[in-house]
Structure 1
Amino acid sequence: MNGIQALILGIIEGLTEYLPVSSTGHLILAQRFMGIGLEGRDKAAADCFAICIQAGAILAVLGIYWPRVMQMFRGLLGKDAEGLKLFLAIVAGFLPAAVIGVLADDKIEALLFGMKPIVAALFVGGVAILWVDRWMKKGGGSKGVELGEITLKMALVIGFAQCIAMWPGTSRSLMTILGGILVGLRLSAAVEFSFLLGVVTLTAATAKKAVWPIEGFGDRYDGLLGGTLLMWDDYGFMPLAVGVLAATVAAALAVKWMVGYLNRRGLGVFGYYRIALALVMVVLMAFNFHDFKGA
């Protein structure tokens, strides 16, 4: 992987991680076009790279929502009741993914990490967005509560909704935003909770993949940090640094834009975009463009 390829993947990761469009689907699409991560060792290195550049998206949200982070910290110190309540809600929202992820993540990935399941998830997710957007425009969710009024039960339901995003192509942010709306949060509150929950979930996923061993490529990679060592040996430091930096900047811009856009226009455009992308990918698969059938 060269610097330009790392830059492109970092930008794609940052732009799509917090938008309800599936960062996984976009990264796979980009990798196929650039001939990266097609099989074997190269695929293992590219998969680890895609996980590690999520650090950029994490840093972006930490920077933007630092006041919220400090509020939760003060809550842990007993100095901010609302901050403690939000912290406990984040923990409750994370627990389902933590448990199910440990028990079934690898099995789900082995079963569903392919082009057809991703295309199906993109399309179904797009339809779901359009349905919720139409419901909201008819007055649904108009009495939603602000983030400070979230309950542990609401957070837990959002957490289970997040687990659906273990199906590649679904989008973690999509499921947590829709989950937040359907349990009674205002759209703006659902989006903010999705971002904050994403910091914890992405950090855990990145840490897990970074330290996990990887088999089949030699003893050096069979122990802890196996995937990271393989990526480091194949790509070196510079592509990772470029990818993380690009993801940080792109994610910050995407989050700032999304908050303002949703307050004015709603979710509908993301539904149409997902459906259009799914149809494009169906065409690419039909003509086996860039070996898409083998993805």
Structure 2
Amino acid sequence: MDAILLIKAAIMGIVEGLTEFLPISSTGHLILAGSLLGFDDAKSKVFDIAIQTGAIFAVILVYSQRLREVAAGLGHDARARRFVLNVAIGFLPAVVLGLLFGKAIKAHLFTPTVVASTFILGGFIILWAERRQQAGAGGQVRVQSVDDMTPLDALKVGLIQCLAMIPGTSRSGSTIIGGMLMGLSRKAATDFSFFLAIPTLIGAGLYSLFKERALLSMADVPMFGVGLLFSFLSAWVCVRWLLRYISSHSFTPFAWYRIGFGILILVTAYTGSIVWKD
């Protein structure tokens, strides 16, 4: 296996792990990083989706105690059953819309220009949501933890998650900010976003590997293994940091990052100083 290819796989894994659970779009960053590294052929697109599984293992590790409690309580604990039901309800819209529109979206929207535009738009939406909440215009927080969520809350968050099918939108950003606008606390919205990511990203990774299996061979195992490992390690660090961060901070800095980075992409593309490949 080419050492340069493994280095690229490691870089892409780090990018995935650091951006998957922040409201800044992992898919958008992977498209941009892949464009710069020349890691953007058909096989690399499967790689980008598959290594999300590594990031999810980090979430499973961080939330392992809660997940064990849920598994142990399914037979007798109504709270555990409601939790699983809510995650399943939140997951369903992504399955349906992904199967219906996923191919068309990948064919037409996975470009640096689209990513830059959605970076900027998403940044302004986060600023609006944060200022709305600080001004008290968003209504009272009615859901303090994921255990207080109703199936309707889960469905709404699941529908909002589908916006992340557009690259650059951010799955985490849409579910967390959307949840907050619907009355979830910052902690409840973040926790549910993480839990919802488990079936969503594992399902997407396995589906992509199965669908594009003709592109892959045993020679690709080291590349995928390196990507998964670095995705897991960087995501584990990032998730632990984010859970501490949200206890006393807003998402406003991420909004300004999105806006600034999106403008930078558009400027470099327009001036030709960086050739972003579609």
Query: Do these two structures clear the TM 0.5 threshold for a shared fold by scoring above it?
Result: yes
**Could you say which residue in structure 1 is the equivalent of 2:164?**
165
Q: Shift of the alpha carbon at 1:67?
A: 1.8
Give the distance between the partners of 1:228 and 1:92, measured in 2 at CA: 33
CA deviation map 1:145-198 (0-9, x unaligned):
121110000000000000111111101111111221122211001000000101
Aligned pair in 2 of structure 1 residues 86, 141: CA closer, same or farther (>3 Å)? farther
Whether contact under 8 Å (1:25, 1:168) holds in the other structure is: yes
Q: Which of 33, 37, 49 is matched with 1:34 structurally?
A: 37
Q: Which of 109, 124, 127 is matched with 1:127 structurally?
A: 124
Give the distance between the partners of 2:257 and 2:139, measured in 1 at CA: 23
Amino acid at match of 2:250: G
Q: Shift of the alpha carbon at 1:143?
A: 2.5
CA deviation map 1:86-138 (0-9, x unaligned):
11000010011111111111112212111222111111110011111112222
**Could you say which residue in structure 2 is the equivalent of 1:40?**
none
Amino acid at match of 1:226: A
Q: Report the TM-score, using the length of structure 1 for normalisation.
A: 0.88
Give the distance between the partners of 1:191 and 1:2, measured in 2 at CA: 34
Amino acid at match of 2:214: G
- Pairing 1:70–2:90 present: no
SS at match of 1:263: coil
Whether contact under 8 Å (1:32, 1:290) holds in the other structure is: no
Equivalent positions of 1:41-190 (< 5 A) are: 43-76=41-74, 78-139=75-136, 140=138, 142-145=140-143, 146-190=145-189
Whether contact under 8 Å (1:93, 1:157) holds in the other structure is: yes
Q: Shift of the alpha carbon at 1:276?
A: 0.7
- Pairing 1:22–2:21 present: no
**Could you say which residue in structure 1 is the equivalent of 2:238?**
254
Give the distance between the partners of 2:266 and 2:241, measured in 1 at CA: 29
Whether contact under 8 Å (2:56, 2:201) holds in the other structure is: yes
Whether contact under 8 Å (2:17, 2:233) holds in the other structure is: yes
Give the distance between the partners of 1:227 and 1:144, measured in 2 at CA: 48
Identity of aligned residues (%): 38
Question: Unaligned 5+ residue runs, structure 2?
Answer: none
SS at match of 2:248: helix
Q: Report the TM-score, using the length of structure 2 for normalisation.
A: 0.93
Give the distance between the partners of 2:139 and 2:196, measured in 1 at CA: 21
Q: Shift of the alpha carbon at 1:270?
A: 0.8
- Pairing 1:240–2:224 present: yes
SS at match of 2:247: helix
**CA RMSD, Structure 1 to Structure 2 (Å):** 1.5
Question: Unaligned 5+ residue runs, structure 1?
Answer: 38-42, 214-224
**Could you say which residue in structure 1 is the equivalent of 2:7?**
4
Runs of 4+ in 1 over 6 A off after TM superposition: none
Q: Shift of the alpha carbon at 1:69?
A: 1.6
**Could you say which residue in structure 2 is the equivalent of 1:217?**
none
**Could you say which residue in structure 2 is the equivalent of 1:228?**
216
SS at match of 1:165: helix
Q: Shift of the alpha carbon at 1:7?
A: 1.3
Amino acid at match of 2:141: K
CA deviation map 1:214-261 (0-9, x unaligned):
xxxxxxxxxxx22433xx54xx33222221111101001111111111
Task: Tell me which moved more, 179-188 or 133-142.
Answer: 133-142
How many residues in Structure 1 have an aligned counterpart in Structure 2? Answer: 273
- Pairing 1:197–2:196 present: yes
